[in-house]
Structure 1
Amino acid sequence: MRLTRSGLAALACLGLTVAAEIATAVLSRGFAHPLDTSLFALYNVALAAVGTLIVLQLPRHPVGWILCLGGLQGAVMADLALGWATRGVAEGWTGAPLVLWVGLASWCPGALMWVLVLLYTPTGELAGPRWRIPLWAGILGTGLYLWGWWVSPASVDVVTGVPNRYAVDWLPGPQAVLVGGVLLSAAALGALTSLVARFRSGDAVVRQQLKWVAMAGGSLGVLLPVAIVSWDSSAVVRAICPVVLVGCAAALGASVLRCRLFEVDRIIGRSLAYASVTAFTVAVFAAVTVLLGTLAGRPWSSPWLVALATLVAAATFRPLLRRTRRLVDRWFDRDALEARLRLDAFLEGLRSGTEQPDRLQQVLSEALRDPRLRLLLYVPAHGGLVDVRGRPAELDDDLGVVRVERQGAPEAVVQFTDDGEPARAGRVRQLVEHARLAVQVARLGVELTRRLDELDRSRARIAESADEERRRIQRDLHDGAQQRLVTVGLGLRRVESRLRLAGREPDADLLDGAVADLAATVQDLRNLTGALPPPQLDGGIGPALRELASRSPIPVVVDAGPERAGRTVETAAYFVACEGLTNVIKHADASTATIRAAQHHGSLFLSVTDDGVGGAAVRPGSGLAGLADRVAAVGGCLHIDSDRYGTRLTAELPCG
């Protein structure tokens, strides 16, 4: 980033602030507590640093310059002046009392700085023309207070206890101090009121910015009364005040720069939850210690009492924090809470088996209120991205991307509608991390589904290969062995006829017996080839079924449409029809049978119905058991409905 003149000026201001605080640390050594010196140095440097960050990004924003000058003023007029004057007064340096007097009054410009910051936060402009009134009231009040305090006889040097050396009795110094203090207080109240006005009239972004300011103002509202009451008597309060002020400066910077803007609700909620639970835990610790000490007649500092009280406080902390966070989230982060609760319900259903992992994308979409949200999974066997149903997928360039990894290995990608919210991706990531178990279950489910699909395809290929081998054997038998045997039989009949003409009846009778055996062998081969898929399957399942029905000894009605399925599916359907019709002929004692074949919703349904005695069932080793295995090999299922009114055998065979 190229530095502009504004940026160089802000960095110079920050450098002077740091140099002034270093000089203060050197001058104050031995005259001030190191903790006080370092904490207030941290505060002033933080002001200048936050101001510099704002100036570097928003050079025309007045809040950046106010914070820069406020940090420099505090470092020079307050810390450095007091450090130099304290040592100078002790060692008799010339001009030390005057510098000390200046340092004692430095808090007033610091107060004006906060008034100006609140008036110009977060947009860099006043909320309207009327808000010039608190602006000029603060400036005028600061001037009157400083002038009145400088000349008022009532002013006292709190370090040395010496009355005001610069007092002028005939000037209205006390009145100026009073009026200036009232004007400065009114300006502060007006600045806070302007924030309320901004919040009521601002858009969503401004309101989120003002929540950072509200967090800083709430901290100051709690800290200020405590500091007024116990500043001189409590070193803890004097140590906490600069730390809280540093946090306020950081919150103001986050507000102006829109840093983590849409996470401010969660941050405020977490801060309130931890603060309230910590306070309650401390109260529990104190109450248990006092109560047990009173009952046992021991001092509250007894080691075993302290240990027991600590255990009680620790036992209450976590469950109380969980309940408090949920309660606070209902007020500050309701959307995130509802999203987590929705996801928790899904995860519980997933554990109990009432939910399916492939619904994770839908649940995330509903929880984040993003209808375009996509959940893509990394499946190693596929070598790329698939959706929750296992179909190959590609990234959409119009959507934002959040990648989920585990130990460096990619697990999933979530694509969401990127509407410009800086924290949108963070919210998506947090919710997906919360649902990591469901993501892993979904990945395993997709992987299992793909493996099962591969198994089904493998079984189908095996079945198709077997059918092809059967067709080859059928062709070989029909065109080879059967034809040769028939030809041999015809030749033997001619020889038999010649023998009878020659009067050799015994030889002719022997030859006739041999020809009969040969004819029986040909019939056996025909029966064997009849159990194989007929050539009519080349024309579809309908012609094959009608050819099968033509060879039945009982009437068979065939109802089959012209639709074609795959060769493997049609072969499986044909064998179902063969086995079903064979069972009807052998066992059903039926008078008629019906064979139907039709396609519905991507599957071929084939049924064999008879009016026989019923009682058919799949038994281990039976023909129906083998038929069920054959149907399952192509991904289908077999149903049998058999009673005393007849039997219906139905096979559902997927065509895809």
Structure 2
Amino acid sequence: MPRLVAYAMAAIAVALVGAGGWLLTLGRDAGQTLYFVTACLLAAASVVLGMLIVTRRPTNVIGALLTFFGLLAIWVALTDVYTYVVAHRPGRLPVSSLLATVRQGSWMLNYVPAALLMLLFPDGRLLPGRRWQVVATGLVVVPAAFIVLAGLDPAPFPPPFAAAEHAFGTASPALARVLGPIAVALLPGLLALLVASTVAMVVRYRRATDPVRRAQVKWFALGAFFLPATLLLCWLSYLLLDGPDLVVVGLAATLVAVPTATAIGILRHDLYDVNKALSATVTYGLVTAALLAFYTVAMFVAGVAAGRSSPVAAAGATAVCALALSPLRVRLQREVDRRFYPARQAALATIEDLRDRMHAGEAAPEGLEEALRQALRDPEVRVGYRMPGTNELVTATGESFEAPEDATVIRLGGQPIGVLVRGGNTTRELTRELADACALLVEVVRLRLQLRRALLDVEASRARLLRAGYAERLRLERDLHDGAQQRLVSLGMALRLAQRHLPETDVSGLLDQAVAELGTAVAELRQIAHGLRPSSLDEGLANALTMLVRGVPLAVTLDVCPEPVPEDLATTAYYVASEALTNVVKHSGASAVHLRVSRADGDLTVTVRDDGVGGAQVRPGGGLAGIGDRVAAAGGALTVAGQPGAGTLVEAVLPCGS
């Protein structure tokens, strides 16, 4: 049914345009022709978009109402042209008493389509409740009653219809005294109905839980905002032009804005970020109203002092407005965003706050994703970081990140540095704005990720080199033990055996000397092998340290964790303990020393504490400096502490994993 009604009204609209063209041939006035053509073009937006809606949504009455909106605008333009022809081309057309009668109160019909749209948008149904049925009925009955009552007024019609008869007849003087107040009472009644229609739109928005429905209502509100904007243009027109000429611009904008916003809200509500558009429209509308108020007061004050038409008055008023504009717009934008676009304000404020706290060293930029999720109340928001020099996307923790095709690219200086993936509660336009706002934070995070990855690579490379060095030392130790050392031992045994079988001669003395030199060579090889890696470590770190402290001429307390320790770290720990104990014996003058090896939180800690004179320091080229280098090569840290007379603490912390 709505489709048939819309088609019928569209056909009537076309017929009215044709009738208007015929009337223009009778009037032959360029101004009237321009007026009628402009009105028809503006009204065509409502008719065409209304037909588009009923084509896509055949059961939705919004399309028919939109078509009626355009039809009414064409009808008003047609009656204006008819009035012009009757007034300026007498005798060309008969005077219609029905048209003259209806025209007295038909202006009320101009408000009906917009009010019904507010009541029924976006699904074409009234809100639940009898009150809204009363409002819808009143929007039809009140204008009709006003047209009838205005037509019954016995006063003659204004020119050019002064001689026309009253099509509805005229009321008697007694009846006119009763009907007159009733007709006047219908004016605030219509105003109340218009307010109720606006309230219905607000109620529908607040009751809506679906983000789609909320976006649709916002789109319609954006178009409806042009109605009060017309009043601002009227105000401005009287200030600048001493007349309402600029109102025509507002009415023309309304004829385009209302149907366009209505059609977008029903058919393409996600075409643009309506929150951003609504926020900007309301902000600049309020700024305009405030500036008009400033300008009015300033013109009045300056006019009193310098004369109403004085250039000084205009310049002074303009200066006042210029000074008020910037801070006023910023404050209004924040307040309007908080009211109409809370998600945008919250997200931008969160990004700015995180950026400030990062500069102050109070927060890490890696918290961007979680901060956006909380600000937008959207747990599906994700941030991906593009590693420099590659196309690889990762999360803030360095894990691989798969970005969907509709992800918004984050750019800095024109270069892609990451992506922002929106959730179901975030619009594309807001996502693009947030991507620009958080670009600096994303750049910092990805550079930190690159640095972290480089450090991990360096640590891994150092660990590999360290393990390779220990493996090579172990190989050399075994080669010396199993190769050259064994050969020398065998050679010594062979020489000793030869000595026993030879008579006592000078050769015997030479053989004794050769065997002694071989023994010295074997001892030196064993010392070299021990320097590469103490053989006592074959039975574990605890065994090696137990054997080490046996040779210390002090009271040593040994506490070693029972967990197995990797070979390379065990060697490093052994040398730390050996060097520290050597320093205690040589320099500390201590009577007791405590050696402790513990393992916790992925670290191996070697602690040597004595009760000696203290004051030990790490000096370049010294033994502690060498141990510090060995510990650093293993990725650890060496600490030497102690005050004179309070003993010395040597502690090495070596990372050994979980």
State if a TM-score over 0.5 links the two structures.
Answer: yes
Question: 254-263 or 510-519, which moves further after superposition?
Answer: 254-263
Equivalent in the alignment of 2:417:
411
Matches within 5 A, 1:94-173: 94-95=92-93, 97-98=95-96, 101=100, 104=103, 107-127=107-127, 128-147=129-148, 149=150, 154-158=155-159, 161-167=160-166, 171-172=170-171
Describe the SS at the equivalent of 1:235. Answer: coil
Task: Indicate which of 201, 223, 227 corresponds to 1:220.
Answer: 227
Q: In the TM superposition, what is the alpha-carbon distance from 1:254 to its structure 2 partner?
A: 5.5
Q: Take 2:587 and 2:517, find their aligned partners in 1: how far apart are those partners? A: 29
2:164 partner letter: R
| 1:502 aligned partner | 504
User: 2-side partners of 1:97 and 1:568: how far apart?
Assistant: 112
CA contact (8 A) 2:100 2:157 kept: no
Match of 2:638 in 1: 638
Task: Tell me what 2:244 maps to.
Answer: 234
The secondary structure found in structure 2 opposite 1:639 is strand
Deviations 1:526-563 (A, max 9, x none): 22221222455455433443454456566655433342
Aligned position for 2:598: 598
User: For the residues of structure 1 that align with 2:249 and 2:432, how far apart are their CA atoms?
Assistant: 38
**What CA distance in whole angstroms lies between the structure 2 residues aligned with 1:603 and 1:147?**
95
Deviation at 1:468, TM superposition (A): 1.6
Q: 1-side partners of 2:102 and 2:232: how far apart?
A: 23
- 2:44 maps to which residue? 45
Give 3-state SS (helix, strand or coil) of 2:635's partner. Answer: coil
CA distance in 2, matches of 1:23, 1:454: 83
Give the % identical residues.
Answer: 31
1:526 aligns with: 526
Residue in 2 that maps onto 1:364? 372
| 1:86 matches 2:84 | yes
User: In 2, distance between residues paired with 1:24 and 1:635?
Assistant: 91
Deviations 1:72-98 (A, max 9, x none): 2322x2223433663576455743643
Q: Distance in 1 between matches of 2:376 and 2:260?
A: 30
Contact 2:393 2:401 survives alignment (8 Å): yes
CA apart distance, 1:283? 5.7
Q: Give the match's secondary structure for 1:531.
A: helix
1:449 aligns with 2:459: no
Q: Aligned equivalents of 1:350 and 1:641: distance in 2?
A: 34
The secondary structure found in structure 2 opposite 1:462 is helix
Q: Please tell me whether residue 386 in structure 1 is matched to residue 390 in structure 2.
A: no
Task: Tell me whether 1:650 sits opposite 2:630 in the alignment.
Answer: no
Question: 1:175-210: per-residue Cα shift (whole Å, max 9, x none)?
Answer: 878756744752452353255367458613467765
Are residue 69 (structure 1) and residue 68 (structure 2) matched? Answer: yes
Which one-letter code corresponds to 2:81 in the other structure?
G
The residue type equivalent to 1:129 in the other structure is R
Say which SS state the counterpart of residue 166 (structure 2) adopts. Answer: coil
- How far 1:388 sits from its partner (Å)? 0.9
AA aligned opposite 2:84 = T
Contact 2:384 2:419 in 1 (8 A): yes
TM-score normalised per structure 1 = 0.81
TM-fit CA distance, 1:587: 3.5
Structure 1 residues 18 and 523, CA gap change in structure 2 (3 angstroms): farther
Distance 2:167 2:28 in 1: 35
1:278 alignment counterpart: 288
What amino acid is the match of 2:441? A
Deviations 1:120-175 (A, max 9, x none): 234422333344444444433433444555565535355xx441423369532978
The one-character-per-residue Cα deviations of 1:575-605 (angstroms, maximum 9, x if unpaired) are 3334333433443444554443332112222
Matching of residues 159-308 of structure 1 within 5 Å: 161-167=160-166, 171-172=170-171, 179=182, 182-183=185-186, 186-196=189-199, 199-200=202-203, 203-205=207-209, 220=227, 223=230, 233-253=243-263, 259=269, 267-281=277-291, 300-301=310-311
Post-superposition offset of 1:14 = 5.8
Choose from 376, 391, 407 the match for 2:384: 376
Counterpart AA for 2:418: A
Shift of 1:475: 1.7
Number of aligned residue pairs:
639
1:501-541 CA-partner distances (Å, limit 9, x unpaired): 5254xx65565455444433333332222122245545543
Partner AA of 1:386 in structure 2: V
Structure 1 SS opposite 2:385: strand
TM superposition shift of 1:68: 0.6
AA partner of residue 390 (structure 1): G
The one of 421, 434, 444 equivalent to 2:437 is 434
How far off its partner does 1:320 sit? 2.7
- Residue 564 of structure 1 corresponds to 564
What is the CA-CA distance between 1:13 and the residue it aligns to? Answer: 5.8
What is the DSSP-based 3-state SS (H/G/I as helix, E as strand, rest coil) of the residue aligned with 2:618?
Answer: coil
| Secondary structure at the counterpart of residue 458 of structure 1 | helix
For residues 472-497 of structure 1, give each alpha carbon's deviation from its aligned partner in whole angstroms, at most 9, with x where no partner exists.
22222222222233333444445666
Tell me the TM-score normalised to structure 2 length.
Answer: 0.80
Cα distance in 2, alignment partners of residues 593 and 415 from structure 1: 60
Task: Find the residue that maps to 2:59 and give its secondary structure.
Answer: coil
Cα distance in 2 for partners of 1:235, 1:194 equals 29
The Cα of 1:251 is off from its aligned counterpart by 4.6
Shift of 1:619: 2.3
Read off the aligned partner of 1:80 and give its amino acid letter: L
- Which amino acid is 1:86 matched to? Y
Structure 2: gaps of 5 or more residues: none
Q: Shift of the alpha carbon at 1:6?
A: 6.7
CA–CA separation in structure 2 for the residues paired with 1:292 and 1:110: 40
Question: 8 Å contact 2:2–2:63 — kept in the other structure?
Answer: no
Mapped partners of 1:289, 1:641: distance in 2: 80
Counterpart in the other structure of 1:346: 354
Q: Does the aligned pair in 2 maintain the 1:474–1:529 contact within 8 Å?
A: yes
2:31 matched residue in structure 1: 32
2:102 touches 2:151 (CA, 8 Å); kept in 1?
Answer: no
Between 1:318-327 and 1:87-96, the stretch displaced more is 87-96
The farther-off stretch of 244-253 and 20-29 is 20-29
* Contact persistence 2:411–2:439 (CA under 8 A): no
Call closer, same or farther: CA 1:312–1:254 in 2, change over 3 Å. same
Contact 1:154-1:164 within 8 A present in 2 as well: no
Contact map agreement 1:537 1:571 (CA 8 A) in 2: yes
Name the stretch that deviates more: 452-461 or 270-279: 270-279
2:541 aligns with 541
RMSD over aligned CA atoms reads 4.5
The alpha-carbon distance between structure 1 residues 522 and 56, as it changes in their structure 2 partners (threshold 3 A), is same
1:323 maps to: 331
Hey, what does 2:614 align to over in structure 1? 614
Q: Aligned partners of 1:287 and 1:197: how far apart in 2?
A: 36
* Deviation string, structure 1 residues 392-439 (Cα, Å, up to 9, x no partner): 345699xx9655355776533445653xx4x45554553343222111
What pairs with 1:471-486 in structure 2 (closer than 5 Å)?
A: 471-486=474-489
